Amino acid sequence: MTLAAAAGTAAHATTTAAAETHGFLSPTGVEIAFLLVGLVTLGAAVITVTTRQLVHAALWLVVALGGLAVEYLLLTAEFIAWVQVLIYVGSVVVLLLFGLMLTRAPIGRSPDADSGNRWVALTVAVVSATALVWVVVDAFRTTWIDLDGAPAGSTEVTGASLFQHWVLPFEALSVLLLAALVGAIVLSRKAKAEQAATATAPAPATASGDPGPAATRSDTEGTR
């Protein structure tokens, strides 16, 4: 037996022994961090949907989405983690905060920020979570990860899977987002046109034939 073969045999034996000693009751540091970050993310998500302060709900949503990004990093899916940060934390949450500021949402507690359908919503959430977990477990039960290839969740693997196996859903989603954008523009322009028409409409005449106070005021201002 050569020296290289002996070294390979020893390394294989060490790896096998480490794999046998590592089990459910001896988690690694990455697994412990994954569990702790998951608990923080779950707590932030629960506070987001239960708090009665709209601004606090948006800020706790930032914590929940940021926790998901950290979970993706711990799973070596750095591309999806940065997409999570850029799109959700950097765009969606900022859009929500701008919406709260523009609508002058109350800063304190909002008594009306609650619904009587709390138990119905909780039931739907539990059923949806159960179905999602069951589908994911059933789909990836017999899936094997190639440890010698590119890391799962990296840019190379995600791009190859997206543009080879998910091209049609990706394009359908793009068309859907484009239709939503066009619809939002049409609705906003229609609302502006209705407001302009209401502002320029003449005031109705009274029963005695007088043009009305608004028309009289405009005529007086024109005479001045």
User: Which alpha helices (DSSP H) does 103-143 contain, by range?
Assistant: 118-139
Residue 222 has pLDDT above 50, yes or no: no
What's the CA gap between 28 and 41, in Å, rounded? 20
Task: Give the pLDDT confidence score for residue 177 in this predicted structure.
Answer: 80
What's the CA gap between 145 and 52, in Å, rounded? 44
Lowest-pLDDT range of 55-59, 166-170, 220-224: 220-224
- Give the H or E element holding residue 3: helix 3-21
Lowest-pLDDT range of 36-40, 127-131, 170-174, 219-223: 219-223
Contacts of 33 (CB under 8 A, 6+ apart): 74
| Mean pLDDT value of segment 36-47 | 92
Q: Tokens at residue 100, please?
A: 């709260």
User: Which tens digit of pLDDT belongs to each residue from 169-220?
Assistant: 878 888 888 888 788 788 777 666 667 777 776 655 555 555 555 444 444 4
Only one residue has tokens 């022994």, namely: 17
What's the CA gap between 83 and 72, in Å, rounded? 10
| Mean pLDDT value of segment 104-131 | 77
Task: Give the pLDDT confidence score for residue 36 in this predicted structure.
Answer: 93
What's the CA gap between 219 and 24, in Å, rounded? 85
pTM, rounded to two decimals: 0.56
Q: 68 with 87: CB under 8 angstroms?
A: no
Going by pLDDT thresholds of 50, 70 and 90, the confidence category of residue 7 is very low
What is the dihedral sign for C-alpha 26, 129, 173, 45?
A: negative
Q: 77 with 153: CB under 8 angstroms?
A: yes
Only one residue has tokens 């619809």, namely: 183
How much is the mean pLDDT over the chain? 74
- Taking residue 69's Cβ as centre, other Cβ atoms within 10 Å add up to 21
Dihedrals φ, ψ of 25, to 5°? -90, 0
* Residue bearing the bigger pLDDT, 220 or 80: 80
Lowest-pLDDT range of 29-33, 124-128, 211-215: 211-215
Distances (CA, A) of 62 to 56, 106, 114, 151: 10, 19, 21, 27
| Among candidate residues 85, 79, 72, the one with its CA nearest the CA of residue 156 | 79
